[in-house]
Amino acid sequence: MPSIIITGAGSGVGRATAKAFIDAGWDVGLVGRRVAALEETAGDSGALVLPCDVTDEDAVDAAFGKAAQSWGRLDALFNNAGVSLGGAPLDELKVADIRNLLDVNIMGAFIAARAAFGLMRRQDPQGGRIINNGSVSAYVPRWGSAPYTASKHAVTGLTRTISLDGRAFNIACGQIDIGNALTDMAAKMTKGVPQADGSNAIEPVMDVANVASSVLHMASLPLDANVQFMTVMATAMPYIGRG
């Protein structure tokens, strides 16, 4: 059966996606910092619990190596781990908080992709797929979201470059850009969030299962086909025409 590692698998999009892959019969590795949360995601499915911090390259390499050794190969990575900050003008944000967000969202994505790329390049048969979790903020920012928006633009650059560099090794890479999937992180949308015109408004949300099924579709394609970018969003959210 095919195999996938999912980062940020202890909650939200990561947990929903992990459960979709488990239900589809994949071997699933769950990466995250909180062991109890990963074990809750795994339940009695037999999914591999791989606790580590995605910003720690040695821990990531060890976790990915354990998964590959257990399964014999790694077919896919859903590079999902990420954090956000509350909306605020740039000068009101603490530099330490900005550094932490960039470390997780950019370096964490690079480190996990690097580990997966190395395994996929060297396994036999060669190849695999990396799916990065972007955001609609990779295209259009929210008010007060400079660090998060910058991090997601960086993920897009990572996606495009892996797509190019992976050709020689049969490694495909795509990106899913999500808008207002209802998770704990997005629950604030249902209560009202700041808008570009200075108002505060409730925004439409969608079931996170729509994201999970989309990632499963992307990962299930043969390696000679690729979804380069997919936007999955609440239909009426303020993205088209945002601002």
Integer Cα distance of 92 and 139 in angstroms:
23
Q: How many CA atoms lie within 13 A of 77 on its CB side?
A: 35
**Active-site entry in 68, 148, 174, 175:** 148
Q: Is 239 a catalytic residue?
A: no
Integer Cα distance of 113 and 83 in angstroms:
17
Name the helix (H) or strand (E) containing 230.
Answer: strand 229-233
Tell me, what amino acid is at 110?
A: F
| Per-residue exposure over 6-28, b if at least 16 CB sit within 10 Å of its own CB, e if not | bbbbbbbbbbbbbbbbbebebbb
Tell me which residues are annotated as active site. 148
